[in-house]
Each structure stands twice: as C-alpha cells, then as structure tokens.
Amino acid sequence: MPTADFEERCRRSFGLQQFMATLGARLVSVHPGEVIIELPFSSHLAQQHGFLHAGAIASILDSACGYAALSLMSEGSAVLSVEYKINLMKPAAGSIFRATGKVLRSGKTLSVCTGTAEANQDGTWSAIAVMQATMIALKEQSALED
C-alpha cells in the first residue's frame, strides 16, 4: 500500500537526479504503481543517425519503472535498479517521448516492473521500446554494498 506522501517522495527523488535535468526529462504523473516521464527531443541527445539515443530512452524508462516501484514502497525506503532489459522496436524518431513504468509485482524486497516508451511524431504516439525491470527496496543507501 502506498504511503500518504508517495507522490512527494517520488518527486523529491526525481528532483535530485541531475542526469534527468541534463536530459531535459520531466516527471509528468505519479500514481500508485504507475509513473510517466516525458522527454522532448533535443539534438544533444542524438545518436549517429539523428534519432534519440537509445541510452536516453532507456534512462527515462528505467526511472519511470524505479519510481513506479518506489510509489508502493514503505516509509523510509529508497529504490535502486537491480537490472533491466530493453527491446528497441523502432528508431526513436519524434518530437517528444514518453516513458510509462508500471509495477507488476510489489514485494517487500524486490519489485518487478514493465515499461513502454512511445514517440510522438506529427501528433501520433507509437510504441518504440519496451522494458522489463527488477527494482530493490533499500533501507539504507549502503545496503547494496553487502
């Protein structure tokens, strides 16, 4: 069950991610178990053919999945990515990109999430990538370093 301040916790953590600011990503919505992040295209994020770099797509998908997991975690938890897998279904061509992360299983320790990235080209959204991810709830930051 999400805590009363689940949205605030996600937004605070997102605000601390300087890499999200570097990308130009924006936390659009936080619901219990579902988070949406948007990213406008910018040439400084391009790969060799001028499309959005897959690394940028993966980064917002990873964050959307991570915050979706965090939104269901108990008080005092921090979230870290254990692993993820991404399939790139189409070149990332578009003016704006949207990553939606959803929790499939929320456990005391591990959460399993699924994510979908869509591109908006000429007003139409289409799916360009999918992610399957494992997140871990940590009580303290040092816990991963066992």
Residues that bind a second copy (CB under 8 A): 13-14, 16-19, 21-22, 43-49, 53-56, 58-60, 62-63, 78, 80-91, 104-105, 107-110, 112, 114, 127, 130-132, 134, 136, 141, 144-146
Minimum CB separation of residue 97 from a second copy in Å reads 13
Residue number, 29 or 55, with CB nearest to a second copy: 55
| The two structure tokens encoding residue 25 | 């990503």
> How many C-beta neighbours within 10 Å does residue 21 have?
12
Q: Is the CB of residue 101 less than 8 Å from the CB of residue 115?
A: yes
Q: At its nearest, how many Å lie between a second copy and the CB of residue 38?
A: 15
Residue 65 and residue 61: Cα distance in Å, rounded?
A: 6
**Minimum distance, C-beta of residue 117 to a second copy, in the bound complex (Å):** 12
> How far are the Cα atoms of 22, 36, 47, 128 from residue 50, in angstroms, in the given order?
18, 25, 5, 16
Cβ 138 to a second copy shortest distance, Å: 10
The gap from C-alpha 42 to its chain's centroid, in whole angstroms, comes to 19
Give the residue with the Cβ less far from a second copy, 4 or 145: 145
How near is the Cβ of 18 to a second copy at its closest, in Å?
5
**Nearest to a second copy of 4, 16 (CB atom):** 16
Whole-angstrom Cα distance, residue 83 to residue 30? 22
The DSSP bridge pattern shows strands 124-138 and 110-121 to be antiparallel
Amino acid found at 90: K
Give the residue with the Cβ less far from a second copy, 3 or 130: 130
